[in-house]
C-alpha cells in the first residue's frame, strides 16, 4: 500500500515538473501576438453581390468575422 501510494505521488510530481519545465521555452520562442476579430469584408461583398444578381437583399444580423493576428512587440 505504501509503495503504490509513493509511486503515484512520485509520478504526479514528475509529471507536474515536466509540464512546468516545458512552458518556459514555449513562451520565450513565440513572439507576442494580439488576436482581434473583424468583419470578413471579402465574404460579405461576395454574398451581397450574389444576392443582388438574384434580386434579393441580405440583412446581416451577425456578419461573418475573421481572426486577425498582429504582433504586439518584438522579443529581440
CA distance 67 to 76: 25
CA distance 3 to 23: 31
pLDDT of 49: 95
pLDDT of 35: 82
pTM score of the predicted model: 0.50
CA distance 72 to 68: 12
pLDDT of 13: 81
pLDDT of 34: 80
Cβ neighbors of 53 (< 8 A, separation 6 or more) are none
pLDDT of 39: 93
pLDDT of 53: 95
* Intervals of the chain under pLDDT 70: 1, 17-31, 73-76
Amino acid at each position: 500500500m505504501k509503495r503504490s501510494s509513493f509511486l503515484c505521488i512520485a509520478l504526479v510530481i514528475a509529471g507536474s515538473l515536466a509540464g512546468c519545465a516545458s512552458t518556459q521555452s514555449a513562451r520565450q520562442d513565440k513572439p507576442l501576438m494580439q488576436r482581434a476579430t473583424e468583419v470578413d469584408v471579402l465574404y460579405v461583398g461576395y454574398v451581397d453581390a450574389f444576392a443582388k444578381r438574384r434580386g434579393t437583399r441580405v440583412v446581416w444580423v451577425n456578419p461573418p468575422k475573421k481572426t486577425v493576428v498582429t504582433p504586439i512587440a518584438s522579443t529581440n
